[in-house]
Amino acid sequence: MGIGDDDACNTGLVLGLGLSSPSKPDHNQTPRKIPLFLKLESTSFGDEPSLTLGLSAGGAATHKVDVKAAVGGDLYRQGSSLSAVYSFSSGKVKREREVSSEVEKNNNSSRISDEDEEGVNGRKKLRLSKKQSALLEESFKQHSTLSPKQKQALARQLNLKPRQVEVWFQNRRARTKLKQTEVDCELLKKCCETLRDENRRLQKEIQELKALKLAQPFYMHMQGATLTVCPSCETSRGVGDANNPYSMASKPRHFYNNNPFSNPSAAC
């Protein structure tokens, strides 16, 4: 049958997200694009859609995000909560660490003061000063990746180790990407909403057309009858939902037969 089928509602939509960094580093690093895909699934008409977020290559993992639930949604935590999926790698990683009973916190002044402290006992949480953070942010705005020279210079300027600068930039990039993903997710949810509305509207239109067909079997089956689009509908076509790229038609078009009994204006 075609238009009435449930298949019409079964919208599998796959949107690719080019998550490559907008400001590509200017140094020799070759851009590496992580093939991320977001799959928009709506199993049946009226169902809550779901977004599937995953890696298209390698197939390592896919995260299914319940659109309804995840909106206020904390994808970051969501990822964390899925840690079980990845935990195969973390088990072996876990190292026994001697928790030093060493007491005094070094109140930020520690910075990198003592080079040898690191690596001996458990890691110490460094807290960057506001000034340091601001400078790093400023630098990040200029380029999201650093060349070795820039890294060295920045580290000197901030009185940090180059490795710390490097780590900061890595984490910063990760956060940026995460935020972008969240924004994209929001966008897709809106898109999904629009499509669902459109789907509802089209379903309704189908029902109306079916009803119309039942009501007027004679005209529809007249021998030699040709279908013509009502002029008023024809002119309105494409006018409506200009800003909705998913809209198939702005309003239902009416057809009438070329016979003296049907009046286009009456049909509309």
Partner DNA sequence: CCCACTAGTCGGATTACATCA
Partner DNA sequence: GGTGATGTAATCCGACTAGTG
Cβ pair 166, 151 in contact under 8 A: yes
> Minimum distance from CB of 182 to DNA (Å)?
11
> Minimum distance from CB of 84 to DNA (Å)?
7
Q: How far apart are CA 6 and CA 4, in angstroms?
A: 7
Strand partners, 153: none
> Minimum distance from CB of 47 to DNA (Å)?
27
Nearer to DNA, 13 or 112 (CB): 112
Nearer to DNA, 102 or 197 (CB): 102
Nearer to DNA, 57 or 215 (CB): 57
Among the listed residues 249, 252, 255, 268, the one whose alpha carbon sits nearest the alpha carbon of residue 228: 255
Nearer to DNA, 129 or 207 (CB): 129
Binding site for DNA (CB under 7 A): 19, 21, 25, 28-30, 32, 34, 36, 60-61, 74, 76-77, 79-80, 82-83, 85-87, 89-90, 92-95, 97, 99, 105, 118-119, 122-128, 133, 145-146, 148, 151, 163-164, 166-175, 177
> Minimum distance from CB of 70 to DNA (Å)?
13
> Minimum distance from CB of 192 to DNA (Å)?
23
Nearer to DNA, 1 or 99 (CB): 99
Q: How far apart are CA 36 and CA 87, in angstroms?
A: 21
Strand partners, 52: 39, 64
Q: How far apart are CA 163 and CA 169, in angstroms?
A: 10
Cβ pair 159, 112 in contact under 8 A: yes
Nearer to DNA, 4 or 122 (CB): 122
> Minimum distance from CB of 66 to DNA (Å)?
17
> Minimum distance from CB of 187 to DNA (Å)?
18
Q: How far apart are CA 23 and CA 141, in angstroms?
A: 9
Nearer to DNA, 92 or 141 (CB): 92
